[in-house]
Structure 1
Amino acid sequence: MRPKGKRILIVDDELPIQRILRKSLHASGYEVLAAYNGEQALEIVRLHQPDLILLDLCMPGPVSGLDVCVAVRKQGKTPIIVVSALIDEKEKVRALDLGADDYLTKPFGNNELMARVRACLRRAQTTETEEEEEPELLVSEDKYIYMDVVRRQVRVGGQDVRLTPTEFELLRYLMQHSGRVLTHRQLLRSVWGPEYGDEADYLRVYVRQLRLKVEEEPSRPRYIITEPGVGYVFRSPMKRENI
């Protein structure tokens, strides 16, 4: 089925990369917009409200890719996939922490790109649907972590914690299956989509960031526990409450 009506913004100052991305996206049925720097990107977001943004971090001008992340996230929940040649994990983590939903490191294959685009759009659609459902609160047994699934709010130790959309979905899935060891493949496919499954290193980046936000001692986690060579488990027993 063609993704009718879905508009994707490419933000990249490299014309060859823009042409490749545009061709691939057009072939898959998407409407494509393009920007060459951060200022253009924010103006296009304001005027045309794209459904997804493919964003390079390294661009000329005063508005960086990270600045675009911050500005877009303040305005709404438009999915952002960082597409960058940067291999520094700190930069990837920073982009994710500022609100990016996913990242791809150049060079990448067309199949991988399209899989990530489909998964991001699907998660965004799922989130919109869930917001219409009855509120549900997931609570760790010691009441240290509270998650309001519909309002998408998380409190840790009595304090509000801001999670990126992907971090939220990962924590929710872990909490919903508390006590059950979840393999890397299960987590990737359930949170990111069926196109995923073999990116264990990719998952570790998100788990590391999530621990920094919800664990008292991230280096000695109490809740999100690693099962070496297998996956992760949310160890604290859960109770479900309706608000």
Structure 2
Amino acid sequence: VVSARGEDADKIAALDAGADDYLTKPFSADELLARLRVSLRRAKFFGNNQNLLTEVTTFTNGWLKINYLSKCVFVNEKEIHFTPIEYKLLCLLAENLDRVMTYNYLVKEIWGYYEEDFSALRVFANTLRKKIELGSDYPKMIQTHIGVGYRMIKID
């Protein structure tokens, strides 16, 4: 957290809420760099833990599994091929599980520019659904929020 608020109560609340560090403005570049070095040392230390590494590099939601290192996607343990755009869309939805991602945000992240016509995004979302959803007997994993965007639903 970088904040102009320097009261102990503010720092404690942020750290208790999950912040790894709290830096009060104004601060020097040297202090910021020192704190970044500490974070990098922690990442290297914990990176040696194979279980932690596996948790960070894979995503599982119900029958869907994404291995971010190999860029492989599995549905019911069967590997499924995805185009680069389908894979980007899938990863964006997975990384924001249970959050509605707006059409504008998705288009900007996938194609890198703003576009008012979302028809290409709709086509890719539809093909993504066909590849990862199992049928009418199973819950829908990708939900459309009409006029807003898409959300990947958490499946137990």
TM-score tier by shorter-chain length is 0.5 to 0.7
Size of the alignment, in residue pairs?
Answer: 101
Which string of whole-angstrom CA distances, capped at 9 and with x for unpartnered residues, describes residues 94-153 of structure 1? xxxxxxxxxxxxxxxxxxxxxxxxxxxxxxxxxxxxxxxx7710111x2x1000112110
| Residue 202 of structure 1: aligned partner | 120
Higher relative CO (Cα under 8 Å, sequence separation at least 6) belongs to 2
How far apart are the structure 2 equivalents of 1:145 and 1:211?
Answer: 12
Task: Give the Cα–Cα distance (whole angstroms) in 1 for the partners of residues 75 and 107 of structure 2.
Answer: 24
* Residue 216 in structure 1 maps to residue 134 in structure 2: yes
- Cα displacement string for residues 5-43 of structure 1 (whole angstroms, at most 9, x for unaligned residues): xxxxxxxxxxxxxxxxxxxxxxxxxxxxxxxxxxxxxxx
Instruction: Output the TM-score relative to the length of structure 1.
Output: 0.39
Over 3 Å counting, the alpha-carbon distance change for 1:224 and 1:192 in structure 2 is same
Match of 2:73 among 138, 141, 154: 154
User: Within the alignment, does 1:163 sit opposite 2:82 as a pair?
Assistant: yes
Q: Which structure 2 residue ranges, 5 or more long, are not aligned?
A: 1-52
> How far 1:199 moved relative to its partner?
2.5
Q: What is the alpha-carbon distance in structure 2 between the residues aligned to residue 203 and residue 221 of structure 1? A: 22
Question: Which structure is larger by alpha-carbon Rg, 1 or 2?
Answer: 2
User: Residue 139 of structure 1 corresponds to which residue in structure 2?
Assistant: 60
* Aligned residue type for 1:215: E
Shift of 1:161: 0.3
Q: CA RMSD in A?
A: 2.1
Deviation at 1:157? 1.1
Normalising by structure 2, we get a TM-score of 0.59
Q: Which runs of 4+ in 1 moved over 6 A?
A: none
Give me the whole-angstrom Cα distance separating, in 1, the residues matched to 2:81 and 2:149: 24
3-state SS of paired residue (2:65): strand
Is structure 2 residue 113 aligned with structure 1 residue 176? no
* CA shift for structure 1 position 237: 5.8
